[in-house]
Chains A and B, each alone.
Chain A
Amino acid sequence: MLELKLVNESGVSDQRGNLSAGQQLKKARLALGWDVAQISGRLKIPESYIHFLEKDEYTRLPNDTFARGYLLAYAKYMDMPIETVSKAYNQQTTPVPEKKARRFFLGKREVKASDPVVLWTSFIIAIACLALSVLWWQDQFEMDDISAVVSDQVSIKTADGKEIIENLSALPAKKSDISVQPDSGHPASDRQGDADKISTSSPLDTHDSTRPESELSAPGRQSITDFHTQGVSIQENILEVLFSDASWVEIKDARGQKLATGVKKMGEHLLLKNISFFDIVIGNAAAVKLSYNSAPVDLGTYVDASNVAKLTLGY
């Protein structure tokens, strides 16, 4: 409850000559010729309290609520203006802040949005959330690129606009099954020169430092190649087909994926690299020269009566 600090302990009039609340009441009572017992009998307030009121000794009364209540009841009975007495009483007493009176309570404090701590904490959390969102978005973006490359089909373009499609996502996961011997006999210069004919790329591409960057047609390709060939040594298998006359060809890989198909014109040159297994069907085989890993393949042994050669290369 409110505790009171007596400002004017003496209860005498202040320097301006204004009477204190108790003095006003006493003066009014004496003017009416009443004694304290009469007041006490009418208001039912103990006589001692009436004396304390008149002497402005409010701290000797039960508490501020009662002190004020008795004072106003007394003033009302004396037919005095309550506001004047109340004002005089307020000037004489100074309420002690309640928090000091109740500071022995220990407990949680309700936090409001206007609290600077809350504001700053919210601000920092908001910034952190924003930064995390940006980082996550960047990660997602990179993952999208990777997944796009992994799931997409890689187009293999010939010099004359033909395409060879390789579905990267359909590749077997276990690279270790592929045992490839390094082809020491295959000169790097040959491979470099392939770019103007047919450039191929597949997940089985080894990371060849000698290969020109122009062969990487999709962003992120390098990282994919790294990913797929990590810890695995794979040799390039090169199939080279030269058409000296119009012919028809269909080349599939181990999974039956068509690597090249269609009619080829005279003089066309087809180069397929890094495919471990070729299932080849060639029409007009007599007009076709085929070499595998730079070694010529005699198609005559595979040609049937209709001049169609069917053969498989690789493993």
Chain B
Amino acid sequence: MSLFKKIRGLFSTDLSIDLGTANTLIYVRDGGILLNEPSVVAIRQVGNQKTVSAVGTDAKRMLGRTPGNITAIRPLKDGVIADFLVTEKMLQHFISKVHENNFIKPSPRVLICVPCKSTQVERRAIKESALGAGAREVYLIDEPMAAAIGAGLPVDEASGSMVIDIGGGTTEIAIISLSGIVYAESVRVGGDRFDESIVTYVRRNYGSLIGDATAERIKQEIGTAYPSDEVHEIDVRGRNLAEGIPRSFTLNSNEVLESLQEPLSVIIHAIKSALEQAPPELASDIAETGLVITGGGALLRDIDRLISEETGLPVIIADDPLTCVARGGGKALEWIDMGLDLTNHD
């Protein structure tokens, strides 16, 4: 590490970054969650030159509404980097955004949460990307471990804890005991797949095409994971594929539930698989205490009910599930300084 980076590090704050497919959250030590923005970058192309036009919320507004010379892209796909350079630029932007002092270029210690089943190449790409963005030191931690810490589970105790982190790109399932992951599974199904399923359902049943942003809004407003007597409705506008003109129609929560069956069944199958694989003692602990859900997927209505009914175990939703991973990463950073390193050293 260069001496210059060390000096700059004195003027930087430790960061825990949940580099998610949908959103990037940055937890600042002693400062809480300071940034929660969509992982979207808008690239403007002039001739052969490409420049970053907007990052985060501004860029997300451009998704699907860009002219020819601007491309709004999501540099992460399925929890891992799909576009290395754009991710680096995005991280650079976010890191400088959480540092108020712009006089000295920040060079913080950064802890990044990565999917537990990501490959060495994918982890390396994330690490290099953060170093390229100016980080002084980069630690990687498995997302379910960070989620468990953030949720407040007793990860360092000799008892099994099961956490399900339903993110934008992936769903991470892990059984944790004594500060280590006993079993982990990662399925590439998450909020994005829910959106895609809604888009597909609307196209198939209504003959209309809706965008990802509209599908996300439908999911957030009336999406449900378990049948309920209470039916919610929403007006949706999309382009009718037969007529080629915009049409309006009404979707209800049961239809959305139907559309989400396929991705939800993948998640349920992965949870059941994890429970089957759990050592008996840990399975006993989990049966007594239950499962904890974190991530944006935990906000889907009655997802806890669905998992509970399917597994027969108590299911609880973590406090502030969206920020669990980032907060857990922040705690892990503090623990590193205290002598307990839970990060990944592959």
Contacts and interface: CB of A to CB of B under 8 A. Distances in A.
Interface string A110-132: 11110000100000000000000
B13 interface: yes
The listed residue with most B CB atoms (<10 A of its CB), out of A2, A45, A65, A106, is: A65
B290 A105 contact: no
Contacts of B159: 62
A70 B337 contact: no
B241 interface: no
8 contacts: A1-B153, A63-B152, A69-B290, A70-B316, A73-B314, A105-B340, A109-B337, A110-B337
A108 interface: yes
Interface string A32-61: 000000000001111000000000000000
Contacts of A63: 152-154
Contacts of A113: 10-11
B200 interface: no
A68 interface: yes
A73 B304 contact: yes
A66 interface: yes
Nearest to A43: B314
Contacts of B304: 73
B292 A110 contact: no
Q: Does more than half of chain B's interface fall in helix, strand or loop, or is it mixed?
A: loop
Given A43-B314, A107-B339, A113-B10, 19 more contacts: A1-B153, A2-B152, A44-B290, A44-B315, A63-B154, A65-B151, A68-B319, A69-B290, A69-B316, A70-B316, A72-B316, A72-B317, A73-B314, A73-B315, A102-B338, A105-B338, A107-B336, A109-B337, A111-B10
Contacts of B288: 46, 62
B34 to A, nearest CB: 16
A64 interface: yes
Contacts of A45: 290, 314
A110 B153 CA distance: 25
Q: Does more than half of chain A's interface fall in helix, strand or loop, or is it mixed?
A: loop
A69 B14 CA distance: 30
Nearest to B14: A110
A95 to B, nearest CB: 10
Contacts of A43: 308, 314
Contacts of A106: 338-339
Interface residues of A, number: 27
B292 A69 contact: yes
A25 to B, nearest CB: 15
B316 A66 contact: yes
A68 B152 CA distance: 11
**3 tightest CB-CB pairs across the interface, nearest first?**
A69-B316, A107-B339, A105-B338
Contacts of B336: 107
A52 B338 CA distance: 34
A65 B339 contact: no
A107 B338 contact: yes
Contacts of A110: 14, 109, 337
Given A66-B290, A110-B14, A118-B10, A44 B308 contact: yes
A107 B14 CA distance: 17
A63 to B, nearest CB: 6
A105 B335 contact: yes
Interface string B94-134: 00000000000000010000000000000000000000000
